Amino acid sequence: MSKQRKLEGKKALVTGSDIGIGCEIAVEFARQGADVVLHYCHHQSNALKHAEEIKALGRRAIVIGADFNDLGQAQSLAAQAIDAMGVIDCLVNNAGITFNCPFLAVLSEQFDTLFNVNVRAPYFVTQNIVENMMKHEGGTICNISSIHGLQGAPEHSLYAATKGAIIAQTRALAVELAHKGVRVNAIAPGWISVENHFRAIPGLTEDGAKQGAYDSVPVARYGIPRDVALLAAFLCSEESAFMVGQTLVLDGGTTALMSLISNFRDESAARFGVDYVPNAQRP
């Protein structure tokens, strides 16, 4: 357990906290002293398991289900979370679904589902929670976006559109709410290894993932959910009190690397500037 409990006494709602990144965020918030409402859509048993882990840490844990493709259920989640805790000090909008499809094959119902779950439902959950925050002492919001909202990947136009919307919404909402005591920031994770990757990518193994990350990620590994959880705890704590409207990229250097550079660990054989930069010709 961390010696410094950044969120002591806070009440948090973490959406999509039954699997992957969300459950680690929920447990980390409890480690940092918060009581947590865990939201699930499909995996109730996972959420209940993590709730027991939170209770073992001496914190309260409430589990609530809601289908984010149904706006009424999403709004009910916010109301139930407030009723259960009395106040929500920290909201982490983590719930979301991913999807890849060639642009010309995307169907309107697929478009609606992605935007309903990734953008529309979190937008109105946030609206209800912010109303509660402003009746008390304010609060913090951490939105989980993706580097897909910053860079292009084939067959991800729809998913990227939702993640880019989250980044834009974070900026606009942050400047509207900051003077009212509500801070809004976001995280754009890169490759974070979760169980869904191994189900979705044919033939992907743990060893293959490790090698792929070593080859392509400057830090030579993929991220893990705890990487995101620690940053989310920071953004919802007073340690980030002067940070407003920012999207922090958490990707091991992926977006910092120029895409034209494929072999970034070996010294380049190219010698630019030989004719006009002193000592450009190295041995």
Residue 80's CATH number: 3.40.50.720
268 found inside a domain: no
Instruction: Check 159, 214, 222, 276 and give the catalytic one.
Output: 159
- Identify the pLDDT of residue 282: 66
Has 40 been annotated as catalytic?
no
Half-sphere exposure of 223 (CA within 13 A, CB side): 23
pLDDT of residue 24: 97
Residue by residue, pLDDT tens for the chain (283 residues) are 446 699 999 999 999 999 999 999 999 999 999 999 999 998 999 999 999 999 999 999 999 999 999 999 999 999 999 999 999 999 999 999 999 999 999 999 999 999 999 999 999 999 999 999 999 999 999 999 999 999 999 999 999 999 999 999 999 999 999 999 999 999 999 999 887 777 778 888 888 999 999 999 999 999 999 999 999 999 999 999 999 999 999 999 999 998 877 788 887 777 666 777 777 676 6
If one counts the domains in the chain, the total is 1
Domain that holds residue 158: 11-250
Which pLDDT does position 2 carry in this prediction?
42
CB-based burial of residue 42 (10 Å sphere; 0-12 exposed, 13-18 middle, 19+ buried)? exposed
273 domain residue, yes or no = no
CB 114 within 8 A of CB 162: yes
